[in-house]
Amino acid sequence: MVKPVIIVNLKHYRVSSGPESERFLLKFVPFVDSYDIRLIFALHPIDIRLAGQFPEMEFYAQHIDPVNYGPYTGQISSQVLMDFGIKGSLLNHSEKRVQKDKIESTVQLAKDAGLETVLCCENYSEARDFKKFETDFVAYEPPELIGGNISVSTSNPNVIRDVVNEYSGSRSLILVGAGIKSHKDYHNSLKLGAGGVLIASGIVLSDSPLQALKSLIGIDS
Ligand code: G3P
């Protein structure tokens, strides 16, 4: 059976990126591999090299551009991420939207490089449109719920049910994102047929990020 996936997006919060990123990740070292989940941290671009320092952990990037190595100032190729031991990347996150006509080529370059992709969508119609790209994951994240305390898995479970149905038979697994805070949000997401969740503030901004992760998956201590 496939393990539930939890992607912790470290975004560009001060506590989880740049000078603080290593300290943040160290909190999770004792936890990695202890439970039956696939735990992935999505690193800010400036922290990509950290993947080499934490070989026991799985990392994604937060964004990729439609380029290979070459004369591309400030762009991030799937190839360089692979070379740094990054397993995959988010793409088209609400905070880093990609032009619609660039999605296909970016996904293809990622596939060519062997990188997994999480294509983010903001609504049902995008979810339906994105099916053709056959990414590893499609993350359903209503932008208005990002950073809040209400998850769509609790406030509007039917839309997740619909997206999961839309993708039945497809290779892409659905992740639920935005406002995921509690075990109920996580549990509901899985019950609705999602493959996991995409979460940021509920863990990153918690006073005790490791405890927040444990509570999310229903471990008390
Ligand atoms: O990438 C996940 C993110 O956009 C959700 O953020 O803070 O609502 O968990 P948050």
- The pLDDT assigned to 31 comes to 85
Over its C-alpha atoms, the chain yields an Rg (Å, rounded) of 16
pLDDT tens by residue, the chain, 221 residues = 789 999 999 999 999 999 999 999 999 998 887 788 999 999 999 999 999 999 999 999 999 999 999 999 999 999 999 999 999 999 999 999 999 999 999 999 999 999 999 999 999 999 999 999 999 999 999 999 999 999 898 889 999 999 999 999 999 999 999 999 999 999 999 999 999 999 999 999 999 999 999 999 998 76
> Which residue type sits at 99?
Q
CA distance 180 to 137: 17
Span from the CA of 59 to the centroid of ligand 1 (angstroms):
17
Residues in the ligand 1 pocket, defined by CB under 6 Å = 9, 93, 141, 146-147, 177-180, 198-202
Residues 6+ apart with CB under 8 A from 145: 151, 152, 155, 178, 179
Residues 6+ apart with CB under 8 A from 98: 91, 92, 106
Domains and CATH numbers, the chain: 5-216 (3.20.20.70)
Span from the CA of 147 to the centroid of ligand 1 (angstroms):
6
Token readout for 125 is 């119609």
- The pLDDT assigned to 35 comes to 80
Span from the CA of 1 to the centroid of ligand 1 (angstroms):
26
Q: Is there a catalytic annotation at residue 93?
A: yes
Q: Which atom in ligand 1 lies closest to the alpha carbon of residue 148?
A: 8
> Which residue type sits at 125?
S
| Alpha-carbon torsion angle 48, 92, 106, 43, nearest 10 | 10
Cβ 174 vs Cβ 164: under 8 Å: yes
- The pLDDT assigned to 221 comes to 62
Q: Which atom in ligand 1 lies closest to the alpha carbon of residue 178?
A: 8
- The pLDDT assigned to 71 comes to 98
Residue with CA nearest ligand 1 atom 1? 9
Choice among 44, 58, 63, 93 that is catalytic? 93
Report the Cα–Cα distance between both ends of the chain, in Å, rounded: 26
Span from the CA of 120 to the centroid of ligand 1 (angstroms):
11
CA distance 5 to 8: 10
